[in-house]
Structure formats: C-alpha cells, structure tokens
Structure 1
C-alpha cells in the first residue's frame, strides 16, 4: 500500500477542522493523513507541517485575507489547497494567481465531495478544478485573464519581486534560459488576452492587477 498523502490544515474554526478530520477518516483507502492543525500559518515552516505534502489553508485568518502568505509559500514550493467561505469569482481567481492549486468553497458543500481528491491531485503537482473554480473561470471569461502554470507564476513572482534572471534560476533550481522561457510565455499569454506586457514594468502592472503579486 502506498504511503498516505500528508496534510497540514490551517483554519481557526473548530467545526471546519472537525469536518476535515471526518472526511479523512471516512476515506476507505486511508489515502490522506493529517499531521498538523493550527489556527494560523506561523508554524508551517517547521516540524510536521514543514514536511506535509499539501497545505489546506483557510483564505481568511485572524480576519485578514492571506493572499500574500499563500504566494510566499507557493513560491517556496508548497502545494496549497484553499478551503474558504468566499466564493466570489475575483477572490477565487486571486487565490489561484497567488499559487493555490485548488479552491474549495465551504458554503457549497464542496469539501465533503472534493477535498480528498483535490488533496491527492495537488500532492502530485497538478491543479484540481472544483465547481467554484469552474464558475469563477466562466465569470472571468469576459475579463480576459490568462491562466499560468505553477512554474510560470513562481518565476514571475521572484523576478518581479526584484531578483535577476540568474537569481530566479538559482532559487528554482532551473537554468537561466528556462527562466527566460517562462517569462516569455507569460508575456505571450498576456498578449493573447489583449494585455501587452513587453517590459518588466508592464508585466509588473498586469501581474499586480491580477493579484499574482501584492501591492
């Protein structure tokens, strides 16, 4: 039998933590194991949480939306499932652009139906699309927002955050040529969406507009 996928669950509502524990326990194949729970993100860089395959994170912690923290963790290579009461398309989109590989709404009962499969898919480095995400994508169609791969997002965040291409390459463990390719693809996707971004300043403006990087 394969080892279970390990998760750290970050949520300040006991009822949510209880629900996640129940869904994990009800999985007949025991494919997921909870190794850490907490009400905030302060401890995710150490102990069992640092080694967890996937982070399941509430989008609002201590009353604040944590897009920036999600972006930091995603840029560091953490795989993230957002589990949130928010279902507004613009919020879902910002979480995706911050680096979440799946977005599950608490309000629609998606957790029971999708959390385990989302965790398993995200653990493999792939995105998992829930009905909330599908609805957000349809709503955003008229806004012409491109979709980026996880590596494209990481590259843009690091480069637009001030690193050189060589610095980004070292941080991600890839070649400088690959960094250039990722940035080129990002610009091409924006161009196809009618949002030209030929310079670093232009790309920064569009990425900030889409919530890929913070203000």
Structure 2
C-alpha cells in the first residue's frame, strides 16, 4: 500500500472538523491522513499544512465567502476540495471557477459518501464530480434570486437609477439612514445567495439580471 494522501481541513465549526476526522478514521484502507485542522486560512503556508496534498476548505469562514482566497491558493498550485453547507448552483459554479477540484455539500451525507474518494482524485490532479456539482452543471445558467421587500426594491431602483442616497430618501419620504439600511439588507441577501455586490456596478449588474432595473 502506498503512502496516505495528506490533507489539511479548514472549517470554523468544531463539529464539522470532528465529523471529518471520524470519516477518515473509519476508512479501513487508511488512505488519507489529516495533518492539520484549523478554523481559518492563516496557517496554510506553514507547518504540515504547507505540504498537505489536498486542502479541504469550508466555503464560508466567519460568515464570509472565501472565493478569492480559494482562487489564490489554487493559483499557487494547491489542490482544493470545498466542503460547504451551500448547495445553490451559482455558488457551486463560482467555487469551480475559483479553482476547486471538487465540491461536497454537508447535506444528505454527501461528505460521508464522497469525501475520501474526492480527496484521492484531487490528490491525483483530477476533478471529482459529486451529485451537488452534477446538479449545478444541469442548472446551467440558473441562479438564486433573493426575495426583497417592496421598500428594498423601490430603494434599489431609485438608487441604481442614478439618485444619491439623499435623493432616494427625499423621493421615498424616509431618512437617509433608512435608505442605507435597505441597501445593506439587499447586499446581505445577495451575499447569502453567493452573489457579491461590493460596488454599485456589481449591484446594478445583478439587479438587471433579476429584472429589478432595466437598461
């Protein structure tokens, strides 16, 4: 039997780390060895994690998506398996575009059924397609559209139509602070759907995609 594939596992929930450790321990072939566990991405360039064959990373650390960090790691040649609670097609596709070679959801025992096989495939430089990834592929260009309140929709339309927040406030008869709150809520809803709108241009693009504003 050859040497075990080494992995570093990053997740901000201890129960998930314990679950992964249990699945690895249950493998009678001892094909995978955990050399590092952590709750953030800070220590992946030092110690045993620096030479781990595969990184198993949660897609959301401390409430923030880590697509950019995954892309940076992949660009440096690190082989990555994403292990996430998110199963939305857009999010799965974004992880794939960032460079993840496998995407496993924490739902429906997909982790227990596929994690070791995915790690072994990724360690060999291959992509591994799980049911969640297959579903995302079938979804094609489908995307998750957040549900906005009428006030949030009206605020977005006015602001993205060119008004300042002060102008939106006057138009709607509300305070500028309330306008800011509506926009922040809309941004949060987009973020939860895996669709970051950090800039006004990003916001406009996604709102136009959802039919909220027109060209």
Report the TM-score range of the alignment, normalised by the length of the smaller protein: 0.5 to 0.7
Query: For residue 82 of structure 1, what is the aligned residue in structure 2?
Result: 82
SS at match of 1:44: coil
TM-superposed deviation, 1:107: 1.6
TM-superposed deviation, 1:108: 2.2
Number of equivalences? 143
SS at match of 2:104: strand
CA contact (8 A) 2:10 2:57 kept: yes
Query: For residue 104 of structure 2, what is the aligned residue in structure 1?
Result: 104
Question: TM-score, length-normalised on structure 1?
Answer: 0.65
Query: For residue 94 of structure 1, what is the aligned residue in structure 2?
Result: 94
SS at match of 1:45: coil
Q: Does 1:20 align with 2:11?
A: no
CA contact (8 A) 2:89 2:142 kept: no
CA contact (8 A) 2:90 2:142 kept: no
Measure, in 2, the Cα distance between the counterparts of 1:59 and 1:66.
6
SS at match of 2:129: coil
Measure, in 2, the Cα distance between the counterparts of 1:141 and 1:98.
17
TM-superposed deviation, 1:101: 0.1
Measure, in 2, the Cα distance between the counterparts of 1:66 and 1:130.
20
TM-superposed deviation, 1:36: 0.1
Q: Does 1:47 align with 2:44?
A: no
Query: For residue 126 of structure 1, what is the aligned residue in structure 2?
Result: 126
SS at match of 2:126: coil
SS at match of 1:100: coil
* Unmatched tracts of structure 1, length 5 or more: 144-215
Measure, in 2, the Cα distance between the counterparts of 1:131 and 1:52.
26
Measure, in 2, the Cα distance between the counterparts of 1:4 and 1:133.
26
Measure, in 2, the Cα distance between the counterparts of 1:70 and 1:49.
15
Q: Which has the larger radius of gyration?
A: 2
Write the mapping of 1:41-190 to structure 2, written as runs, cut at 5 A: 41-140=41-140
Q: Deviations over 1:191-213 (max 9, x none)?
A: xxxxxxxxxxxxxxxxxxxxxxx
Query: For residue 10 of structure 1, what is the aligned residue in structure 2?
Result: 10
* Unmatched tracts of structure 2, length 5 or more: 144-215
TM-superposed deviation, 1:109: 1.2
Q: Does 1:32 align with 2:47?
A: no
Bigger relative contact order (CA 8 A; separation at least 6): 1
TM-superposed deviation, 1:141: 5.8
CA contact (8 A) 2:5 2:33 kept: yes
